[in-house]
């Protein structure tokens, strides 16, 4: 009996030893060759190279071509902004800036990086494109900027600005950022009496844009100008939202101005009011409230012999669509309207007496003389 008991004990001890040996062996194999017990996954990743090199060389290419634009009225400084030499024709140099920088002035001067101040003449401007052109005498060693393109731009591409923020106190400040968005629709005002007059299709950048940067260049990492700084969103809780007119749009308008061509915009021939604003007028409030109309453009007056008159639009009509595109306010009406050419026919949808109607309208012209 004792022999059988000793034999059983030895078997148990051997079993335990073999078990522990197996565990240690398995652990050693897993530790040494972990891939044996892992699932093989094939993953293809896009190679991305991220660098953070300085852009000093790119800045140097455009820096001396940027000027401070000073607008005077009755011999008093009225406003200031930035601009850049985009074209040189012999003894004449042409400077692009914003129309709102030079609006209402009667005398203009530009200041160069070396401090020289030169008289400038205004060739003209387009308030809805927010582009104006100044002409100055060419200066030796001052060249035009290199013009880029926006088609190939991608969100995340490096950008920088050169301008005169804060009313020239920090002239030729360089700020760096990226393209934050393309084809942004931004409501802007071309008249200080109105909140929004027009919609602009612009580039968005997070490069710092401040008062005085208006009219200056937005450049890519090669130092080529891809836009004209025009606006920023300035509000509590909002940072790094600046906007620039695409350079293609700016050049097209600038060439029209230089060539003495007038900017021809389609014209309906109505006086109008945002529906939201019309609610403040007692004569409109009840009608709008009773018909639950919360957006659109109210026709306040129809000019004789105009496109609107021919289409039989009436005072009190609420325009809510152009060619199927929703019209929520005056700014969007102009944005959609200015996609068409003089002579085009459009479909205008409106509300009259609480009922929706649509009429055809042939557009005439409203010239903005340069």
Q: Could you give the residue numbers annotated as active site? A: 100, 130, 214
Nearest to 343 by CA among 272, 264, 271: 264
Q: CB neighbours of 289 closer than 8 A, spacing ≥ 6?
A: 279
Rounded distance between C-alpha atoms, residue 72 and residue 86, angstroms: 23
Q: Is 136 exposed, middle or buried (0-12, 13-18, 19+ CB in 10 A)?
A: buried
DSSP 275-334: HHHHTTSHHHHHHHHHTT--SSEEEEEE-TTSHHHHTT--TT-EEEEETTEE--SHHHHH
Rounded distance between C-alpha atoms, residue 76 and residue 72, angstroms: 5
- Collapsing DSSP to helix, strand or coil, 35 comes out as helix
């Amino acid at each position: 009996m004792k022999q059988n008991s000793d034999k059983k004990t030895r078997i148990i001890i051997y079993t335990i030893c073999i078990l522990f040996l197996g565990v240690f062996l398995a652990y050693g194999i897993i530790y040494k060759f972990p891939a044996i017990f892992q699932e093989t996954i094939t993953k293809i990743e896009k190679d991305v190279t991220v660098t953070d090199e300085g852009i000093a060389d790119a800045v140097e290419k455009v820096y001396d071509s940027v000027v401070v634009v000073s607008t005077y009225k009755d011999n008093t400084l009225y406003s200031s902004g930035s601009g850049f030499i985009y074209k040189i024709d012999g003894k004449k140099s042409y400077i692009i800036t914003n129309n709102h920088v030079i609006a209402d002035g009667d005398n203009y001067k530009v200041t160069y990086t070396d401090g020289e101040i030169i008289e400038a003449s205004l060739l003209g401007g387009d308030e809805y494109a927010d582009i104006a052109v100044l002409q100055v005498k060419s200066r030796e060693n001052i060249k035009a900027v290199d013009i880029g393109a926006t088609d190939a731009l991608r969100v995340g591409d490096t950008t920088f600005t050169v301008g005169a923020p804060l009313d020239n106190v920090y002239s030729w400040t360089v700020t760096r950022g990226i393209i934050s968005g393309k084809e942004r629709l931004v409501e802007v005002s071309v008249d200080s009496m109105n909140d929004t007059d027009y919609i602009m299709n612009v580039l968005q950048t997070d490069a710092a844009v401040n008062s005085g940067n208006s009219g200056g260049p937005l450049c890519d990492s090669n130092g080529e100008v891809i836009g004209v700084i025009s606006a920023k969103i300035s509000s509590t809780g909002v940072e790094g939202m600046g906007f620039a007119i695409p350079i293609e749009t700016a050049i097209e308008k600038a060439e029209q101005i230089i060539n003495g061509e007038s900017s021809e915009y389609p014209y309906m021939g109505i006086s109008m009011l945002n529906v939201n604003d019309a609610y403040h007028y007692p004569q409109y409030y009840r009608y709008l409230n009773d018909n639950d109309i919360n957006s659109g453009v109210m026709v306040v007056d129809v000019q004789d012999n105009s496109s609107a008159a021919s289409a039989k639009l009436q005072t009190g009509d609420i325009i809510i669509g152009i060619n199927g595109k929703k019209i929520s306010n005056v700014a969007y009406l102009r944005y959609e309207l200015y996609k068409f050419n003089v002579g085009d026919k459009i479909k205008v949808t409106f509300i009259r007496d609480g009922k929706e109607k649509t009429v055809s309208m042939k557009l005439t012209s409203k010239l903005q003389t340069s």
